[in-house]
Amino acid sequence: MTHNLSSPISEEAVRKLKVGDQVLISGVVFTGRDAVHKYLHEGGTLPDGVNLDGGILYHCGPVVLKDDNGDWQVTAAGPTTSIREEPYQGDIMKQFGIRGVIGKGGMADKTLAACQEHGAVYLHAIGGAAQVLAECITRVRDVHMLEEFGSPEAVWELEVQDFPAVVTMDSHGGSLHKDVHAQSGDALAKRR
């Protein structure tokens, strides 16, 4: 089933999503990678104007260039591996009211528990499709913490239209990643 999501997203809308559902996201998405997660987890604050409540955090270090008019243009925006954020993600979801996290590779039990408790989902974006995903970005609204963290680790505020992803961890305790891991373990045990 395909769902159209517009950020900010309500808890009610998130609770309707199940593992395997496809989503098309429109609205504002914020990027955040290792440096931002560690900074926020250690008590750092978001810059003025950045509100993640009901929002989506994208594990992405986009390739962004300025055009001839001095405007930022995203040329590639593929997901980065999410498991690196596992020590921080659940706490950050709770603290900032995040309803969705986009990345690749999935996350683990702490994040899954936070999805259940706070009404959030993990959304898997297609790795290797960075240029195609960049076409879903209609505008760079702003960039935050660029000087502190550098371009890949900065918080990019992006407007997106019909950004595709798949729910692989839901707010009901479902995790495609856990299922695949268990099935792989079973298959491996049978081969021995």
85-117, pLDDT tens digit by residue?
Answer: 999 999 999 999 999 999 999 999 999 999 999
| pLDDT band, very low/low/confident/very high, at 192 (cuts 50, 70, 90) | confident
pTM score > 0.85 for this model? yes
Residues 6+ apart with CB under 8 A from 74: 62, 63, 64, 134, 137, 140, 156, 158
CB 121 within 8 A of CB 169: yes
pLDDT at 184 over 80: no
Establish how many alpha carbons lie within 13 A of residue 78's alpha carbon, considering only the half-sphere containing its beta carbon.
11
Q: Which two tokens stand for residue 18?
A: 């199940």
For residue 41, indicate whether it is catalytic: no
- Dist. CA 24–CA 103, nearest whole Å: 15
Which of 37, 59, 144, 177 is catalytic? The answer is 37
How many degrees, rounded to 5, is the angle at CA 161 between CA 1 and CA 148?
120
What's the Cα-to-Cα distance from 177 to each of 37, 111, 116, 124, 181, rounded to whole Å? 22, 12, 15, 10, 6
pLDDT at 56 over 90: yes
Question: Could you tell me the domains of the chain?
Answer: 2-191 (3.20.130.10)
